[in-house]
Amino acid sequence: MLSMKAQVEDSTNYFIYNKVQTQLKPGREALHFNYINEDGEYVSLQSLKGKVVYIDFWASYCSYCVSQIPEITKLQEKYPEIAVVRISVDEKESAWRGASKRYGLKGYNLWANGMSYPADKYTLDLFYFEANKNNNTPASFELSNPIPGYVLIDQNGRIVENWAPEPGTPELDKLILKLLN
């Protein structure tokens, strides 16, 4: 039987995950996006250069994402000088538009047309499942895209933190204030 380290290093999913995480290290250039807003116009990361950008990857079917809407709104109000960007990964545009209207979302509210690039990279996570001898299931590493996912980007378009702290936390306030000063 392979050791845990050997299993990890031998896993294709681990290789993919590790490659993506290398692209998302703090200080690296953020992955560019160009998503549609509620008015049918495209908004790109490039158009936000010069601002601190806090991205919230969410979906209308994700109850925890929806529960964070008030915190995201408070963040927008507390730091009007930063670009708080909500990016919906809903598969259907109608689900995104309906939720946006239902929850009265303001500001940068974009639709990624499902879990598309780069949303699929920013939210990528790796889960280890132990072997289960009772049903002959081998140990495995599975890739997933859990949401909500948060990313903090500096004024120069560089990643400060992928999997940034949640809105409303002192950790996030500390990072934002450091960038603004």
For the chain, the distance separating the N- and C-terminal CA atoms, rounded to the nearest angstrom, is 53
**Both tokens assigned to 93:** 């545009």
What is the pLDDT at residue 125? 79
Structure tokens at 75: 């963040």
User: What pLDDT does 122 receive?
Assistant: 80
- pLDDT of amino acid 9: 55
d(CA 71, CA 144): 25
- DSSP-derived 3-state class of residue 15: helix
34 in Cβ contact with 43 (< 8 Å): yes
The pLDDT of residue 1:
47
**CATH class belonging to 4-180:** alpha beta
Picking from 173, 171, 178, 118, the residue whose alpha carbon sits closest to that of residue 149 is: 118
Q: What is the full DSSP assignment across 62-94?
A: -HHHHHTHHHHHHHHHH-TTSEEEEEE--SSHH
| C-beta separation of 165 from 140 below 8 A | no
Residue 175, both tokens: 């990072």
Please tell me the distance from the alpha carbon of residue 123 to that of residue 117, in angstroms, as a whole number. 10
Q: Which residues of the chain are modeled with pLDDT < 70?
A: 1-11, 131-132, 135-141
